[in-house]
């Protein structure tokens, strides 16, 4: 009887499987298709011009498979045999000053320009076989986010999240003072779900629908939104960054390789010092203890202060009376944060908004500082290491056209900028490293073991 039932089951399975389930017949979703991407420059700035020799990268949201092709003389990238699905399309183009002059008829602002564009959640199918992407000129800053160590080290054998840091680099040939520089930790949706009334097509918040917002879609295209903002102290000329040098901003400016005592008096042991870093010589640390006390909150037990390391100023930790519940500067070790550096004459004058999912304000409502793109010096979108857990971008393509991720959390990895060139320092002073800066983090960064003030290995 069991044999007859098994045979009957197999016959039913064969009957239910039609030819087109195996890619034959009418089911075209499994058949590769041709797909065309038209790339043009920002029409409002450069007129109606197509971008030739731009690099187009299409990444499948589910599988992570990528297709790469350069545009032809008419600005088209004609892909063949693309598996249908949902894709992220990033476009990048480098242009030297002579090509810029020949293309647009006037001199470029710098010797090399970068153009970037992005389209998220592009559908490729038998019925949708083309799209258009507009590339915008990317701002190239003298100060760069050089390294973000967010993954942390092993939770038991290392320092967990306590050893995180950010490094800011002077990529110019002039002294730049860090005094007054702001670092913003951005806020946004961390999933691509669009089945609600407050999301854009790419899944990110539609900030135009926030309570009190009146600027329409410019709220999404012209601004970023910060959860937290910290500020470099100083009188304006107190903290110089020499050409080719950097400042390290630690969560806790201590030697994480050595045993410590937390703020409750409990010892912290490190089983494998090789997994973590020594941040006792950091330029700054983000200590929230005094701030927490000022708003009636306790000092977090792992927010350990090193009196020898200057404290960053806490510039924004939520609207007055609606403070953030986060009582330490912690970077998401899964990679779902974004960061910007910027300068502002009056940060307090910049408005803040609740996220657009909020319909009624209460005591738990949080507000996020609105930062204009035109004051952002540099930014980077981090990304979840799991291709199936990708999040929508927080930054516009003109600031970062893509994103960068470590391989996992708690694996001691950081993302660090590539070295582009070595140039001579004046008066036979040796060499200065020039770092890659195309405002496309997938091109500009690599992932490697965290190394404060280190460079690409």
* Mean pLDDT in residue range 202-231: 96
The band of 97, judged by pLDDT with boundaries at 50, 70 and 90, is confident
Q: Which long-range contacts (CB under 8 A, 24 or more apart) does 303-306 make?
A: 303/252, 303/263, 303/327, 303/328, 304/162, 304/252, 304/254, 304/260, 304/262, 304/263, 305/252, 306/252, 306/253, 306/254, 306/280
For the chain, domain boundaries: 32-137, 143-449
What are the start-end ranges of the H helices in 47-141? 97-104
- Is 70 exceeded by the pLDDT of residue 17? no
Query: Could you report the per-residue pLDDT of 292-311, keeping only the tens digit for each?
Result: 999 999 999 999 999 999 99
Tokens 């045979």 belong to 7
Percent with pLDDT over 90 in the chain:
78
- Is 50 exceeded by the pLDDT of residue 331? yes
Query: Could you report the per-residue pLDDT of 260-301, keeping only the tens digit for each?
Result: 999 999 999 999 999 999 999 999 999 999 999 999 999 999
What does the alpha-carbon distance between residue 372 and residue 346 come to, in Å, rounded to a whole number?
12
Query: Could you report the per-residue pLDDT of 87-96, keeping only the tens digit for each?
Result: 999 999 988 8
* Mean pLDDT in residue range 77-105: 92
Tokens 């040939």 belong to 173
Tell which wins on pLDDT, 282 or 22: 282
Identify which of 159, 140, 157, 141 has the alpha carbon closest to the alpha carbon of residue 149.
159
Element (H, E) at 289: helix 289-294
Query: Among 104-108, 251-255, 343-347, 418-422, which is the least confidently predicted range?
Result: 104-108
- The token pair at 176 is 């730049």
Mean pLDDT over the full length of the chain: 91
- The token pair at 382 is 């981090």
Q: What angle do CA 148, 182, 217 make, to 5 degrees?
A: 90
Right CATH for 32-137 from 2.30.42.10, 1.10.1660.10, 3.20.20.150, 2.60.40.10: 2.60.40.10
């Amino acid at each position: 009887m069991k044999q007859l039932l098994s045979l009957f089951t197999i016959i039913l399975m064969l009957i239910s499987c039609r030819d087109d389930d195996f890619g034959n017949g009418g089911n075209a979703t499994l058949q590769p298709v041709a797909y065309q991407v038209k790339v043009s420059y920002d029409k409002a700035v450069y007129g109606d011009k197509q971008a030739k020799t731009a690099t187009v990268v299409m990444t499948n949201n589910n599988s992570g498979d990528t297709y790469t092709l350069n545009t032809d003389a008419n600005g088209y990238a004609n892909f063949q045999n693309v598996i249908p699905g949902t894709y992220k399309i990033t476009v990048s183009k480098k242009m030297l000053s002579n090509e810029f002059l020949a293309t647009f008829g006037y001199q470029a602002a710098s010797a090399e320009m970068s153009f970037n564009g992005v389209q998220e959640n592009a559908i490729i199918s038998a019925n949708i076989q083309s799209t258009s992407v507009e590339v915008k000129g990317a701002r190239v800053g003298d100060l760069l986010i050089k390294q973000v160590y967010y993954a942390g080290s092993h939770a038991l054998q290392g320092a967990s999240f306590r050893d995180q840091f950010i490094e800011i680099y002077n990529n110019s040939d002039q002294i730049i003072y860090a005094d007054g520089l702001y670092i913003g930790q951005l806020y946004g949706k961390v999933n691509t779900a669009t089945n609600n009334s407050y999301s854009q097509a790419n899944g990110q918040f539609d900030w135009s629908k926030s309570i009190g917002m009146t600027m329409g879609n410019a709220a999404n295209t012209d601004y970023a939104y910060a959860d937290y903002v910290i500020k470099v102290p100083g009188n304006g000329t107190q903290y110089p960054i020499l050409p080719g040098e950097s400042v390290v901003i630690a969560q806790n400016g201590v030697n994480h390789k050595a045993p410590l005592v937390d703020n409750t008096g409990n010892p912290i042991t490190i089983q494998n010092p090789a997994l973590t870093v020594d941040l006792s010589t950091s330029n700054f640390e983000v200590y929230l203890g005094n701030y927490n006390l000022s708003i009636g909150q306790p000092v977090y037990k792992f927010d350990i202060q090193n009196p020898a390391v200057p404290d960053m100023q806490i510039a924004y930790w939520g609207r007055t009376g609606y403070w953030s519940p986060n009582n330490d500067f912690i970077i998401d070790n899964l990679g779902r944060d974004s960061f910007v550096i910027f300068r502002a004459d009056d940060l307090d004058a910049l408005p803040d908004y609740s996220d657009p999912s909020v319909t009624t304000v209460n005591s738990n409502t949080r507000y996020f500082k609105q930062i204009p793109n035109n004051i952002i010096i540099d930014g980077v979108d981090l990304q979840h290491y799991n291709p199936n857990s990708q999040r929508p971008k927080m930054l516009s393509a003109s600031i970062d056209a893509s994103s960068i991720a470590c391989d996992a959390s708690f694996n001691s990895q950081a993302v660090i900028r590539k070295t582009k060139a070595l140039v001579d320092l004046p008066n036979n002073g040796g060499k200065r490293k020039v770092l890659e800066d195309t405002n496309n983090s997938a091109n500009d960064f690599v992932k490697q073991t965290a190394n404060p003030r280190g460079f690409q290995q």
